[in-house]
């Protein structure tokens, strides 16, 4: 996996951002957005509005209920078993 390490100045800008941050190449061409609260990278064509992203981030911070990946996979397997 490739890693890019931000400079201290870039990290400070990201940490102080209150909303989406546009990522651009040195020539100014657009790459995508990052949502600093969740570190979620949004592709070039964002299918969500800032309001939808904020609502999803709020939901992710909620009390749950939450399920582990194993619980979800076991549930899916049980559903598939029931269909056979």
Whole-model pTM over 0.85: no
pLDDT, tens digit, for every residue of 23-72?
888 998 888 778 776 666 666 666 778 888 888 888 888 888 888 999 99
Q: Please list, in sequence order, all residues whose beta carbon lies within 8 angstroms of the beta carbon of residue 77, skipping any fewer than 6 positions away.
A: none
Half-sphere CA count of 21, side-chain side, radius 13 A = 18
Residue 38: DSSP 8-state: T
First to last CA, the chain: 39
Residues in the chain: 84
Q: Where are the domains of the chain?
A: 8-83
Stated as kind and residue range, the H or E segment containing 50 is helix 50-60
In order, the DSSP letters of 18-30 are SS-EEEE-TT--E
């Amino acid at each position: 996996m490739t890693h890019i390490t931000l400079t201290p100045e870039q990290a400070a800008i990201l940490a102080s951002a209150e909303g989406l941050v546009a990522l651009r190449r040195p020539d100014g061409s657009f790459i995508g957005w990052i949502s600093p609260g969740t570190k979620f990278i949004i592709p070039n064509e964002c299918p969500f509005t800032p309001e939808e992203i904020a609502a999803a981030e709020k939901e992710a911070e909620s009390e749950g209920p939450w399920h582990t990946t194993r619980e979800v996979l076991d549930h899916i397997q049980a559903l598939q078993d029931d269909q056979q």
